[in-house]
Amino acid sequence: MSAPSDVDEKAETPPKEPAGSSIAFTATLILLVGLALFGRRIFAGVFTDEVVRTWATMFVGVTVQALPFLVLGVLLSAALTAFVPPSFFAKALPKHPALAVPVASASGVILPGCECASVPVSAALMSRGVTPAAAIAFLLSAPAINPVVLASTAVAFPGQPKVVVARAVASIAISMIIGWLWLLTGKGSTWLKIPKNRHAEGTGKLEVFRSSMLHDFLHAGGFLVVGAAAAATLNVIVPRSWLDAVASNLLLSVLVLGLLAVLLAICSEADAFVAASLSQFSMTARLAFMVVGPIVDVKLIALQAGTFGPKFAIRFAPATFVIAILVSLGVGWWLL
Amino acid sequence: MVAVKRNVAGLVIVFVGAAVVQLAVSNTYLRYVKPGMRWMLLAAGLILIVLAVADVLADTRKKPEGEEHDHSGDDGHGHHGLPKAAWLLLIPIFALLVVDPPALGAAAASRQSPVASKPIQPKSNSWLADNPQGGPVNLAVRDYSVWAVWEKESMKGRSFSLTGFVTPAKNGNWYVTRMGLTCCVADATAFMVEARGQAAPPKNQWVTVTGEWAEPSKRVDGDVAALTVSSVKSVTAPANPYE
């Protein structure tokens, strides 16, 4: 059996002996069944506080909304790992990394769905030998420029096709800039943990597919929960009325809406509608909201930390945020 | 059977998958996401269950799996154990089973401004003008809250009927409220109509109010739709609490 190698070395339950796992299994089973049968009675009266219940609704909502996309993502990434030979990417992408970046950015169009799906897929691309710069460009462009997201943007801003154009242009530009920036600064660095290729020779393709999907889901799923908890907390803490105070100042409003996009972690298919409702803000600030959301938010940071390592996430998120804000300002000034 | 017994990963995934399927089948999912997500949730839940079952089957097929695990030093765990992060998947399950989170209500609504933001391209309400006769018109709170402010002329002197939950405000005022969802509760927007002339029903009570258009209230950040309410009727919450 191909043993899926754990990308996260430190996270581990040491005992592999049957007895330990057996206890864990039995305990988990009893816990889950017990909760299902008696949970509400045992904890009756504990979770009655309104804020706690609103938090729980937000938390479950973000998790439930993202889960199908995560499943789609791990399904695709497992399929890439199991069925697409590395030689395919070698042929499909230009040899020179600097040229591979724009091609990868543009191919983000083909992955429908929100940002949760693109993390496992780009990890699979890296493990299949695609240059990290190109995989990163794909990671950033896919959730922002796919047809579903652009269509929902068009619906949210009826009669204003320039908003759709500005969003697509800004998102592609950012993904290429970050990709090239990676080529300049990130090469040879130790802080990107490239997910290992788990393809053991001599194992059946279906077996590879099954085990890498299972492994990816368990990892990414856990980090999705962390991200959803963060998003729910911020959703409950940050009152939207604070926003009105800064709406009139262009620079400040762009920054604040960018930060809001990071904190709220709204799915990229829905963020255009929220942006449309923030009508006290300038178009440029709302563009920043739509451009930042799909590429850096608390849920994504958690997912990326789980997939590419915390050291990567801690550098990648601020860099992406700063460049996204600058590009939004530029594109907003030019197109909107 | 020993191999099956140890498969914690399969167990957790089955529970996650089953929880998602249960949400989709029972309509509980409508508290958290938009109706269109149902099929995606069903599909995702079933895929997870199949994945877990396949894993358990693969275990039983090849019992002597020790050799490959032994030499892999970088492999912190066999896949029967669970990566630490994956235990976190039990938290949403716990929340669903124990807290049973309700649909968003007054607590969430009162954190947002009741001001109706100006629509970029207003939904036409010309049929109102075309049908000047007739009793109270049933409107979505979402539509009324916008039209009452931005389409005043066609609303004046007409009576309307709205269904939503009660969000109390200061000084005994209250709002008939509906939350609008685009994707999930994280993007929920509150649509609120100030109900005038009647005492506030209990917080979060679902009501159908009937009354006449009233001049919007002024606030620092804009105008809030209002209705002079003549009758308040308590109703049960609709299957889909959002608009």
What is the predicted pLDDT for the residue at A273? 79
Q: For residues A62, A64, A69 and A70, what is the CA-based torsion angle, rounded to 10 degrees?
A: 90
* Whether the Cβ atoms of residue A176 and residue A137 lie closer than 8 Å to each other: yes
Q: Which of B133, B140, B177 is nearest to B157 (CA)?
A: B133
Instruction: Report if residue A107 sits inside a domain.
Output: yes
Question: In sequence order, which ranges of chain A are alpha helices (DSSP H)?
Answer: 18-42, 50-83, 86-92, 97-106, 115-127, 132-145, 147-156, 161-181, 205-237, 250-264, 271-277, 283-292, 298-308, 310-335
Q: Pick from A54, A274, A278: which is nearest to B108 by CB?
A: A54
**What is the mean predicted confidence (pLDDT) over B44-51?**
95
Q: CB distance from A161 to chain B under 8 Å?
A: no
How near does any CA of chain A get to the CA of B166, in Å? Answer: 15
In the predicted model, is pLDDT for residue B164 greater than 90? yes
Q: What is the DSSP letter of A184?
A: I
In a 10 Å sphere around its CB, with 0-12 CB exposed, 13-18 middle and 19+ buried, how is residue B44 labelled? buried
* Residues A138 and A179 grouped into a single domain: yes
Round to whole Å and give the CA distance between A186 and B96.
42
CA atoms within 13 A on the CB side of A200: 17
How near does any CA of chain B get to the CA of A61, in Å? Answer: 5
Helix A97-106 to helix A132-145 angle, to the nearest 10 degrees? 20
Q: Which of A123, A130, A67, A63 is nearest to A103 (CA)?
A: A130
In the predicted model, is pLDDT for residue A177 greater than 90? yes
**What is the mean predicted confidence (pLDDT) over A155-177?**
91
Q: What are the tens digits of pLDDT across the range A45-88?
A: 777 788 889 999 999 998 998 888 888 888 888 888 888 887 88
Segment among A49-58, A166-175, A242-251, B94-103 with least mean pLDDT: A242-251
- Joined tokens for residue B140: 């979505």
Instruction: Report if residue A99 sits inside a domain.
Output: yes
Contact B85 A235 (CB under 8 A): no
* Residues A194 and A176 grouped into a single domain: yes
Which is higher by pLDDT, B224 or B127?
B224
Locate tokens 């649509």: which residue?
A: B191
Round to whole Å and give the CA distance between A322 and A328.
10
Q: Pick from A56, A239, A274: which is nearest to B111 by CB?
A: A239
Chain A residues closer than 8 Å to B40 by CB: 68
- Residue in A closest to B49 by C-alpha: A214
**What is the mean predicted confidence (pLDDT) over B131-159?**
84
Window A:45-104, CB contacts with B under 8 Å: 47, 50-54, 56-65, 67-68, 71-72, 75
Instruction: Name the amino acid, one letter, at A9.
Output: E
What are the residues whose beta carbons fall under 8 Å from the beta carbon of A20, sequence distance 6 or more? A13
* Residues A93 and A62 grouped into a single domain: yes
In the predicted model, is pLDDT for residue A247 greater than 70? yes
**What is the mean predicted confidence (pLDDT) over A31-42?**
79
Q: Which domains does chain B have, with CATH numbers?
A: 2-101 (no CATH), 107-234 (2.40.50.140)
* Residues A62 and A38 grouped into a single domain: no
Contact B189 A159 (CB under 8 A): no
- Phi, psi torsion values for B180, nearest 5 degrees: -105, 135
What is the predicted pLDDT for the residue at B78? 44
Which is higher by pLDDT, A243 or A30?
A30
* Residues A205 and A136 grouped into a single domain: yes
- Residue in A closest to B65 by C-alpha: A1
Helix A205-237 to helix A250-264 angle, to the nearest 10 degrees? 130
- Joined tokens for residue B126: 């010309």
In the predicted model, is pLDDT for residue A15 greater than 80? no
What is the predicted pLDDT for the residue at A21? 66
Domain assignment of residue A311, given as a range:
53-335
Round to whole Å and give the CA distance between B230 and B62.
73
**What is the mean predicted confidence (pLDDT) over B207-234?**
91
Q: CB distance from A29 to chain B under 8 Å?
A: yes
Round to whole Å and give the CA distance between B130 and A90.
64
Round to whole Å and give the CA distance between B126 and A310.
55
Contact B98 A280 (CB under 8 A): no
What is the predicted pLDDT for the residue at B227? 94
- Phi, psi torsion values for B164, nearest 5 degrees: -170, -175
* Residues A26 and A102 grouped into a single domain: no
Instruction: Report if residue A282 sits inside a domain.
Output: yes
* Residues A31 and A132 grouped into a single domain: no
Mean of per-residue pLDDT scores for chain A: 82
Instruction: Name the amino acid, one letter, at A56.
Output: A
Contact B74 A5 (CB under 8 A): yes
Round to whole Å and give the CA distance between B238 and B236.
6
Interchain CB contacts (distance < 8 Å): A and B: 271
Contact A6 B11 (CB under 8 A): no
What are the residues whose beta carbons fall under 8 Å from the beta carbon of A301, sequence distance 6 or more? A227, A313, A317
* Residues A168 and A270 grouped into a single domain: yes
What is the predicted pLDDT for the residue at A216? 84
Round to whole Å and give the CA distance between B97 and A90.
48
Contact A269 B20 (CB under 8 A): no
Q: For residues B12, A263, A242 and A155, what is the CA-based torsion angle, rounded to 10 degrees?
A: -90
Segment among B36-50, B78-92, B171-185, B196-210 with least mean pLDDT: B78-92
What's the predicted TM-score (pTM) here?
A: 0.80
Window A:174-203, CB contacts with B under 8 Å: 196
Chain B residues closer than 8 Å to A306 by CB: 85
What is the predicted pLDDT for the residue at A157? 85
* Whether the Cβ atoms of residue A195 and residue A269 lie closer than 8 Å to each other: no
Chain A residues closer than 8 Å to B15 by CB: 32
Q: Pick from B11, B12, B82: which is nearest to A13 by CB?
A: B82
In the predicted model, is pLDDT for residue A235 greater than 50? yes
How near does any CA of chain A get to the CA of B176, in Å? Answer: 19
Which is higher by pLDDT, A237 or B168?
B168
What is the predicted pLDDT for the residue at B2? 43
Round to whole Å and give the CA distance between B73 and B88.
25
* Whether the Cβ atoms of residue A124 and residue A208 lie closer than 8 Å to each other: no
* Residues A30 and A96 grouped into a single domain: no
Instruction: Report if residue A42 sits inside a domain.
Output: yes
What percentage of residues in chain B have a pLDDT greater than 90? 44
Round to whole Å and give the CA distance between B157 and B176.
20
Contact B40 A68 (CB under 8 A): yes
In the predicted model, is pLDDT for residue B4 greater than 60? no
Round to whole Å and give the CA distance between A74 and A207.
15
pLDDT-based confidence at residue A149 (cuts at 50, 70, 90):
confident
Contact A60 B107 (CB under 8 A): no
Contact B8 A28 (CB under 8 A): yes
* Residues A80 and A115 grouped into a single domain: yes
In the predicted model, is pLDDT for residue B110 greater than 90? no
Q: Pick from A14, A42, A67: which is nearest to B20 by CB?
A: A67
Segment among A4-13, A197-206, A277-286, B193-202 with least mean pLDDT: A4-13
Other beta carbons less than 10 A from residue A172's beta carbon: 21
Looking at the DSSP bridge assignments, the partners of residue B184 are: B33
What are the residues whose beta carbons fall under 8 Å from the beta carbon of B224, sequence distance 6 or more? B114, B115, B116, B149, B192, B193, B194, B216, B217
**What is the mean predicted confidence (pLDDT) over B49-65?**
78
* Residues A90 and A195 grouped into a single domain: yes
Q: Per-residue DSSP letters for A189-201?
A: -SSS-PPP----T
Contact B111 A266 (CB under 8 A): no
Contact A61 B184 (CB under 8 A): yes
Q: State the ipTM, two decimals.
A: 0.87
Q: Which of B72, B82, B71, B52 is nearest to A20 (CA)?
A: B82
b/e map A100-135, b = 16+ CB within 10 Å: bbbebbbbbeebbbbbbbbbbbbbbbbbbbbbbbbb
- For residue B68, the surrounding DSSP H or E stretch is helix B66-71
In the predicted model, is pLDDT for residue A91 greater than 50? yes
Chain B residues closer than 8 Å to A217 by CB: 13, 48, 51
Instruction: Report if residue A163 sits inside a domain.
Output: yes
Q: Which of A65, A75, A209, A298 best tests the B interface by mutation, with the highest count of B CBs <10 A?
A: A65
How near does any CA of chain A get to the CA of B151, in Å? Answer: 17
Helix B8-26 to helix A50-83 angle, to the nearest 10 degrees? 120
Other beta carbons less than 10 A from residue A47's beta carbon: 16
Which is higher by pLDDT, A10 or B54?
B54
Q: Pick from B29, B55, B99: which is nearest to A56 by CB?
A: B99
What percentage of residues in chain A have a pLDDT greater than 70? 88
- Phi, psi torsion values for B151, nearest 5 degrees: -130, 40
In a 10 Å sphere around its CB, with 0-12 CB exposed, 13-18 middle and 19+ buried, how is residue B236 labelled? exposed
How near does any CA of chain B get to the CA of A146, in Å? Answer: 17
pLDDT-based confidence at residue A289 (cuts at 50, 70, 90):
very high
Q: What are the tens digits of pLDDT across the range A112-147?
A: 767 778 888 888 888 888 889 999 999 999 888 888
Q: Which of A65, A9, A46 is nearest to A225 (CA)?
A: A65
pLDDT-based confidence at residue B235 (cuts at 50, 70, 90):
very high
Which is higher by pLDDT, A76 or A200?
A76
Instruction: Report if residue A10 sits inside a domain.
Output: no
Task: Indicate the number of domains in chain A.
Answer: 2
Instruction: Report if residue A244 sits inside a domain.
Output: yes
* Whether the Cβ atoms of residue A172 and residue A324 lie closer than 8 Å to each other: no
Q: CB distance from A310 to chain B under 8 Å?
A: no
Residues for chain A: how many in total?
336
- Residue in A closest to B222 by C-alpha: A280
How near does any CA of chain B get to the CA of A199, in Å? Answer: 14
Instruction: Report if residue A9 sits inside a domain.
Output: no
* Residues A257 and A192 grouped into a single domain: yes
